[in-house]
Amino acid sequence: MLKINEIYYSVQGESTKAGLPCVFVRLTYCNLRCSYCDTEYAFYEGKDLSIEDIILEIRKYDCSLVEITGGEPLFQEESFGLMRQLADNGFEVLLETGGSLPVNNVDKRVKIIMDLKTPSSGMLKKNMYENINYLKKEDEVKFVIGSREDYLWSKNIVETYSLNNKCHVLFSVVFGKLLPVELVNWILEDKLNIRFQLQMHKFIWKPDERGV
């Protein structure tokens, strides 16, 4: 059984899959407490569902793209089996993970979208940099940037780990804390070969809307 916070159908708001219809499976619990967290309701709320029940619910939406998110989905051991069974059933699976738990046992058919937590998140010490060794070319590393310090830190990490040669790299702003134009200007000034992104769903719906 897995503790599930919500399952819903919406438009993918981030990543290289942004803009595509997607079924989201939000797992309960998180081992982190980021300063900018917008899904605190997923820390404890949820109901127990079997993998079979989850797949039945996903099938109702007739959509082949599924994102496993949280909270921190890898906090629940059974999430690995869920992703494997979804891939076995022909779904294209995305995993959104905070980057503090091992990803080496994630099914290789799953596209990993992994945060590396910046200084202003307050969770810098939780980053598990060994995870970078297990990323595939099609996986993504995401930096959520809330300040100039965060930007410089992120830029340094991209260089230190040659992230551009290993996977996609995404920079986005902490919503309401750093203006998108500031981050874009820094990226262009430094000629960084990374992808800037906005959390699209925060502009389509109200920024604090749940289930979108």
d(CA 11, CA 46): 22
> Which residues partner with 22 through β-bridges?
10
Q: How far is the CB of 71 from ligand SF4 (least distance, A)?
A: 5
Q: How far is the CB of 100 from ligand SF4 (least distance, A)?
A: 7
Q: How far is the CB of 150 from ligand SF4 (least distance, A)?
A: 14
Q: Tell me which residues in 85-144 interact with ligand SF4 (CB under 6 A).
A: 98
One symbol per residue from 21 to 40: x for binding ligand SF4 (CB under 6 A), - otherwise; what is it? ---------x-xxx--x-x-
Contact yes or no for 69/96 (Cβ under 8 A): yes
Contact yes or no for 43/2 (Cβ under 8 A): no
Distance between start and end Cα atoms, the chain: 24
Residue owning tokens 């995401």:
142
Q: Tell me which residues in 65-94 interact with ligand SF4 (CB under 6 A).
A: 70-72
Instruction: Give 43 or 205: the residue with its C-beta nearer to ligand SF4.
Output: 43
**208, HSE (Cβ side, Cα atoms, 13 Å):** 4
Instruction: Give 33 or 206: the residue with its C-beta nearer to ligand SF4.
Output: 33
d(CA 189, CA 183): 10
Instruction: Give 58 or 113: the residue with its C-beta nearer to ligand SF4.
Output: 113
d(CA 191, CA 92): 33
Instruction: Give 98 or 146: the residue with its C-beta nearer to ligand SF4.
Output: 98
Instruction: Give 37 or 198: the residue with its C-beta nearer to ligand SF4.
Output: 37
The residue ranges that bind ligand SF4 (CB under 6 A) are: 30, 32-34, 37, 39, 70-72, 98
